[in-house]
Structure 1
Amino acid sequence: MSTVTPADWQTGPAPHSAQDWIARAAEVAALLDTDTDTDAAARDRAGATPHAEVRLLKDSGLVTLLGPTEHGGGGQDWPDAVTAKTRGDFEVRVAAVKARATDVALEIDNRVFEVTGARSTATTEGLDRFWRNVRTRPPATRPPPLNEALRAAPVGLHDPVAYKRREVGRRVLEGELPEPTWYS
């Protein structure tokens, strides 16, 4: 557990090297990890915004990491902020979640049609949108409320799951980092 507080960042020296910034990011992660008052899932369901987390990131200086030092930024380059390994590891995690979310959405969709029968394919019921949207909609940038998410599941053919599974498999079995692609 971290004993660092945001006040320490205001009085102490600003990070200068990549290692200093990584240490600062670890401090922020520890503070966020110990914040038991904030339930991110409940906040998202309520449509609230993460004001406390944004304030913490601003106070830590991490939002200025890539800005030039002459303008008050951290002066770090992209290679310091994002390495090929961190990008690849993150991409593989996202790909695994994408593949699983697609599987779950398709399973739910199939079960809805099993339960409701052929009549549910009529446009008057509106359930045909589930099937179509699960298979063709691109990923959303921000998850909609649950009732909207059920109407427009953001998974499908425009972001093929086969590519995601291949990336995860190559990373797990061969240790190979995925190359950036249009589907990354």
Structure 2
Amino acid sequence: MSTAAPTQWKTLPAPDSPAAWIERAAEVAAILATDAAARDKAGATPYTEVQLLKDSGLVTLLGPAEHGGGGQDWTTAYRVIREVAKADGSIGQLLGYHYLWNWAARLVGTREQWEHVEAEAVRHTWFFGGAVNPRDSDVVVTEDGDDLVFTGAKTFSTGSRVSDVTVLEGVLEGTDRHIFAIVPSDSPGLTFHDDWDNIGQRLTESGGVTLDGVRTPWASAAGYVDKEFRPRVYNTLNVPTIQLVFISFYLGIAAGALETAATYTRTRTRSWLHGGYDKAVDEPYVIDTYGDLTAKLWAVEALADAVAAEGQKLHDAPDEVTEQARGEFEVRVAAAKARATDAALEVTSRIFEVTGARATASAEGLDRFWRNVRTHTLHDPVAYKRREVGRHVLTGELPEPTWYS
């Protein structure tokens, strides 16, 4: 991977508008694209890729401007994730999860906590990982004086092996209260396992983690004051926010697949010998397929952008978020998630119809787009997202806030 561009960024001013940040993300994507297929095949831990995100400034996009961060909002963050994912779905996911876990302090914590976390995150260019797989309830948190001690394991811990800090989650012993805390990723007792070997999103470092007595002060327990949690509706926005992260890199992967396939079709695909056309780009079925897939992708992108803008209004006034507003937003996110899943799967599988048999060669790496989408869209069943929408339409029911809704 070239390092010339990151060196150049050090002499340039930071982007100062949403358009400029998206352009910076496109520059990052151009670097990632040069060897994306080879890196996917190698499956090496993406230390260099994460450093690229740091050098470009993308990791501090959501950070407060007064501390040197980008000062941008979620509508820009989603577009940046989409742009990076065009070149590399794994790195798009890592960046998106980083944004969510960075923002988690603001979602769950007290003002004093999130102001401290966000200032430190910008100052030290922290990259965030998370050991917060909600289906694993086997991390127990115990008290030891002024400390909390996390013990147990999580099956998935996306990004943690390449992170500076990790968000932990566990249940306080003898209660049903969940506790989130941010700890250094090199904390004693925190062991990340090199066991992520799935067909897609191979560079996300989503393997398991063991917590063997990981200690952190009680004061770091997000949202707790005097050992009591102070709930608010805004706390529950973690699910629709991260689902929009998912949508963003699904759409980015799909867009990258279309762009890569179109270049291949223009330059290498041969017309069918019995079709009567000299060039593949003149084949009616090829033209129709690209038109169909592009129209579907553009439609979902427009929906995703609209829903992101609706969500930003909630982020802008966190203390005013009502259960009704939160529920209606989740329904809209669920609809976008369902359509993004279908569109991304269709685009990434059908590109082979218009690139040809030679495009299936391993060296081309076109299969990585489908493998990446197929792997992550299994995160939670899309049928349950459609159910949220359908029940709301028929009965007015709003989704109950859970780890997945």
Query: Higher strand proportion, which one?
Result: 2
